[in-house]
Structure 1
Amino acid sequence: MAKALKRPQIAPNEAARLFRETRQRTEDLAAPLAPEDTMLQSMEDASPAKWHLAHVTWFFEEFILKPQVSGYRSPDERFAFLFNSYYVQAGPRHARDRRGLVSRPGVDAVMAYRAHVNAALGDLLASDRTDPEVAALVELGCHHEMQHQELLVTDLLHGLSFNPLLPAYRDPEPVAVSSELPLRFERHDGGLCEIGHDGAGFAYDCEGPRHKVWLDPFEIANRPVSNRDWIAFIEDGGYTRPELWLMDGIARAGREGWETPLYWWKQDEVWWTYTLRGPQPVNLDAPVCHVSYYEAEAFARWAGARLPTEAEWEVALGDRPIEGNFLDDGALRPLPDGGPWGDVWEWTQSPFTPYPGFRPPEGALGEYNGKFMVSQFVLRGGSCATPRAQMRPSYRTFFYPHQRWQMLGLRLARDA
C-alpha cells in the first residue's frame, strides 16, 4: 500500500466520476453480505468487511474534507479512533487485532457514514473550490479504496474458510474446461534498462523515481506456475525436503503444518480448494494461488529455476497489454490464462526497498508506504481480486514472506 507521487494530473470532473464509481463498487462487493459476515476477523492480518467500509470513508474525511471544507462535521468524532489504520500522525487508533470486536457502530451506521462523506465530497467536487491538488487527493483516495476492495474480498475468503459449511460468497460456477499450456522460457538480453513509473498518470510514491538498472541476460517463463505443476511438487515430497527450503521457510512450514497451498485438501483422490464461489475441484491449468514466498522459493529451486527480480519482471513483461482476469471480471478465482496480468500476484525475489532517490512525503500520508520498506518482498502483475484500474507496469505490491491469504502465485526465471 502506498501514497501517490505528488503530481496533480486528474481533472476535477474526472475525479468526481472516479469517486462515484469506486465508492459504488465497494458497496456492490458488500451487498451479498449478512451483517454477521461483515464482523469476521479471522487473524490480525485481516480486517472485517465493516471496518474496510468505514476506514476508506475515514480516509476521505481525514485527508480531504476536514482540511478543505470549513465547518465540516463528522457524524461521530469517535470514528477517527475506530477507523484509522496505521497513520500515527493522524492520531490514536483502535488495536488492529481487535477490529472484529467492534460490533457497534453497526453496518447500517457505517453505511450512513459512507453516505454522509459521499455527499460532502460530492459537493466539494461540484464546487469551484476544487483545485488540481484536491482532485489529486481524491484520485489517491479512490486508489486507496481499490486496494481495500481487494483486501475486503480476500479477508472475507479467509474468514469464511473457518465455517465448516464452506459458504459461497458468490454463486458457484463450473470449473472451465482447459488444456495444459506447456511451460517454456523466453530469453531477454538484459543490459542497461529503466524501471519505475514514467510520470504519466497515477502512481504511488514507491514506484519512483524511474531509474536505471543493469540486468544480466535472463529467461522468464511464458506463464505462471500452474496447479498441475504444484501437484507434481507435492507428490515429489516438496514440502518435506529441507534441501529445497530456506531455513525460516521450512521452520514456518513445519510449525504451521503446511503440506499444500492454503485452502487445499484431498478427497477421494481429487484435489479440492475453497474459493469465494465455494468449494471447487482444483483447476489443474489455472495458476497456483495462496502460496507464500517461502513455498514459491522452494518450488523454484525444485524446478531448477529461481524467482525473477522485480526489474526482470518489469522489463520482460511490463510492455504487455493489461488484459487478464481482474476483480472487474467477477470470476473471483484464478483461471487458465498464461499472461502476466491478473489471476495471481507473482512473487519476485526482490525485497521491498526504496528506489534510488526515494523520499517519503511529509505528513501523515507519508506514512502510507515508506515505513513498510523492510522485511517484505515485491509481487507484480495483479490478481483476480485486483481492480483493473490499479494496474500499470510499475505497480509494486508487497507482503511478508510467510503470508498466504492473498491471491499469491509465482512465475519462474533462470539465468540465460
Structure 2
Amino acid sequence: MTELDLKERIAAGLAAVRDRSLTYTDAEDDILLRQHSTLMSPLVWDLAHVGNYEELWVLREAGGITPLRPEIDDIYDAFKHPRKDRPSLPILGPREAREYISGVRGRVLDVLDTIDLDAPDPLRRAGFVFGLVIQHEHQHDETMLATLQLSRQPGLVRDGELPPGRPGGPEEVFVPAGRFQMGTGTLPWAYDNERPAHWVDLPAYWIDRLPVGNAAYAAFIEAGGYDDPRWWTPEGWRWHQESGATAPLFWTRDGDTWWRVRFGRTEPVPPDEPVQHVSWYEADAYARWAGKRLPTEAEWEKACGWDPVAGRARTYPWGDADPDPGLANLGHRAARPAPLGAYPRGASAYGAEQMIGEVWEWTGSWFQPYPGFRSFPYKEYSEVFFGQEYRVLRGGSWAADPAAVRTTFRNWDYPIRRQIFSGFRCARSATPEEAGAPITPGRA
C-alpha cells in the first residue's frame, strides 16, 4: 500500500467513526447529560473524551501542535475520574463538545496531509497514531451503545437482515496438541498488549464450534443452575447472592416465555442467538454445569487464528481478507447477535465459527502481559490493568467495528460485568485417547 493509499484509508476511517459517534449522540441534551447508570459515563463525556484523546495523541504528540484546550485535560482523563464521578465534573455541554471535536478533527486532517508515515518514530510509522485514535473512538462508541441499552432509550434497534442459522452440525471441534504463535509482531495497528508474538505449546483440547446460545443457557436456568453452589466459584456464588441475578441482564420471565429488553423494545428471547449480557461468573458456572470449562485465552486464540497447514497466524479466523457481511456480524448492522451457524464462510482452520463478531467471549484467563511486553505509547492503556482483577474477553461483538477486531485483539473487564455485550463458548481438555486419535480438525 502506498503512503497516499494509506492516508486515504485513514481519512475514511476517521470519517466513518465520527459519523458513528455523532449518530449515537444525536439526542436531546438531557439524555446526553444524564448518567443512565453509575457503571457508565454521561454520553456527552464520551463524546468530548474521544476528541481530547485525539488532540493529545495526533495533534500534540505526533503533530507537535500547541494544545487547543489544555484546561480540559484533567476532566477527560479516564484514569483520574471513575465513571460514577464524571457527572460532577465541569464537562462540556453537547453543543460545545461537538464544536470542540470538530475543531480537533479539522486540525487532525491537516496533520494527516503532511505527516511522514514512513518515519522511524513508531507513533507515526504506518499511521499507528491514527489507528490508535480510530480504534479508541470505536471502543467508546460500543461503550455508548452499552449506555443506551442500559438507559432503555428507544430508537437504536436496527433490524437489518442477518443470515439464517444452520441447526445441527458438530457441537465441538478438536484442536490437536502443538505449538502456535500467539500475539503479533507484524500488524501495524495492534495494541501493546497484543505484542510481542511468542510461541505457546498447548495440549490437545476441544472447543465449542459455536458460542453458547440462549436456548442452551435457558436450560441451565431451568435445571436450577443459579440455585446450586456446586457450579459456582466461591467468589461467583458470593456475587450471585449479593446481586440477586437469576438470568442474564435484561431477561425477565412471564410464564413459560423468556423476554428481553433491547434498546427499549421488549421482545421474546430468540432461542437460536448467542447468549449475551452474562458475567464471567455466570459463564463459568454454566461451563461447569455442562461438564466443561471456559477456554484459556491461548486456547481461544489458537482455535480462532492459527493455520496448522500454513504454520502461521491468520488476521481473522477465515484468513487475512477484511471482514465483510458474509463473514462476520460486526459494525452494529442489526443490533443483535446473528443466529447460531450463520457464518460458515467465517470458520477458522479448525472449524470454529462465529469467533469474530456476535458477542465478546469470556475466557478463563486473567489479563496478563505477554513475555517481553513493553508499554507503548502509554502505561495506562494496558499495563495498569495487568494482574488478577480483570478477565480476558476475545472476539468482538456485533457492536464492535471491524477496525477494532482481529484474532489477536484482547479485551478485559471485571468478572462481574454484564452490561457489556458479553457471551462465551466452552472448552474441555482432550482425554489421552482423544489426544492420540487421528481426528480431522473441525470434526467432532
| TM superposition score category, shorter chain reference | 0.7 to 0.9
Aligned to 1:401: 415
1:368 aligns with 2:362: no
Distance (Å, rounded) in 1 between the aligned partners of 2:225 and 2:82: 38
**1:257-406, aligned counterparts within 5 Å?**
257-276=244-263, 278-318=265-305, 319=314, 320-321=317-318, 322=323, 323-329=327-333, 331-338=334-341, 339-361=354-376, 365-374=378-387, 375-406=389-420
1:328–1:388 contact (8 Å) kept in structure 2: no
SS of the equivalent of 1:240 reads: coil
Aligned to 1:90: none
2:183–2:198 contact (8 Å) kept in structure 1: yes
Distance (Å, rounded) in 1 between the aligned partners of 2:157 and 2:277: 21
**1:160-199, aligned counterparts within 5 Å?**
160-161=151-152, 167-171=153-157, 173=159, 180-181=167-168, 184-199=171-186
Query: Taking structure 1 as reference, are residues 71 and 261 closer, same or farther at Cα in structure 2, changes over 3 Å only?
Result: closer
Distance (Å, rounded) in 1 between the aligned partners of 2:61 and 2:202: 45
Deviation at 1:49, TM superposition (A): 1.3
Q: Which runs of 5+ in 1 are unaligned?
A: 1-7, 87-92, 162-166
Distance (Å, rounded) in 2 between the aligned partners of 1:71 and 1:347: 41
Deviation at 1:139, TM superposition (A): 1.8
Distance (Å, rounded) in 1 between the aligned partners of 2:302 and 2:396: 16
Which deviations, in whole Å up to 9, do the C-alpha atoms of 1:340-370 show, x marking residues without a partner? 22110111111110111112136xx232111
1:111 aligns with 2:98: yes
Distance (Å, rounded) in 2 between the aligned partners of 1:79 and 1:143: 22
Distance (Å, rounded) in 2 between the aligned partners of 1:392 and 1:128: 27
Q: Which moved more, 1:93-102 or 1:51-60?
A: 93-102
Deviation at 1:179, TM superposition (A): 6.7
Aligned to 2:77: 84
Distance (Å, rounded) in 2 between the aligned partners of 1:70 and 1:172: 41
1:142 maps to which of 127, 130, 134: 134
Aligned to 1:122: 109
Task: Please tell me the residue identity of whatever aligns with 1:22.
Answer: V
Aligned length: 392
2:184–2:194 contact (8 Å) kept in structure 1: yes
2:236 maps to which of 249, 253, 275: 249
Aligned to 1:411: 425
Deviation at 1:116, TM superposition (A): 0.8
Task: Please tell me the residue identity of whatever aligns with 1:48.
Answer: P
Deviation at 1:68, TM superposition (A): 5.0
2:24 maps to which of 26, 29, 40: 29
Which deviations, in whole Å up to 9, do the C-alpha atoms of 1:294-349 show, x marking residues without a partner? 110110010011111111111112252252211242x1122213322211011111
Task: Please tell me the residue identity of whatever aligns with 1:261.
Answer: P
2:213–2:340 contact (8 Å) kept in structure 1: no
Which deviations, in whole Å up to 9, do the C-alpha atoms of 1:163-219 show, x marking residues without a partner? xxxx42325649988674466111111212211114133201101111111111101
Aligned to 1:164: none
Task: Please tell me the residue identity of whatever aligns with 2:46.
Answer: H
SS of the equivalent of 1:110 reads: helix
Percent identity for Structure 1 against Structure 2: 33
2:157–2:335 contact (8 Å) kept in structure 1: no
Distance (Å, rounded) in 1 between the aligned partners of 2:53 and 2:257: 45
1:175–1:280 contact (8 Å) kept in structure 2: no
Task: Please tell me the residue identity of whatever aligns with 2:362.
Answer: W
1:286–1:337 contact (8 Å) kept in structure 2: yes
Deviation at 1:25, TM superposition (A): 2.1
1:187–1:218 contact (8 Å) kept in structure 2: yes
Aligned to 1:3: none
**1:219-230, aligned counterparts within 5 Å?**
219-230=206-217
Aligned to 1:98: 85
1:172–1:278 contact (8 Å) kept in structure 2: no
Task: Please tell me the residue identity of whatever aligns with 2:74.
Answer: F
Deviation at 1:127, TM superposition (A): 3.0
Distance (Å, rounded) in 1 between the aligned partners of 2:293 and 2:187: 32
Query: Taking structure 1 as reference, are residues 225 and 69 closer, same or farther at Cα in structure 2, changes over 3 Å only?
Result: closer
Which deviations, in whole Å up to 9, do the C-alpha atoms of 1:251-275 show, x marking residues without a partner? 1011010100011001243111111
Query: Taking structure 1 as reference, are residues 59 and 384 closer, same or farther at Cα in structure 2, changes over 3 Å only?
Result: same
Deviation at 1:12, TM superposition (A): 3.7
Distance (Å, rounded) in 1 between the aligned partners of 2:160 and 2:141: 25
Distance (Å, rounded) in 1 between the aligned partners of 2:293 and 2:428: 6
Deviation at 1:24, TM superposition (A): 2.1
- What's the Cα RMSD here? 2.5
Query: Taking structure 1 as reference, are residues 46 and 53 closer, same or farther at Cα in structure 2, changes over 3 Å only?
Result: same
Task: Please tell me the residue identity of whatever aligns with 1:170.
Answer: L
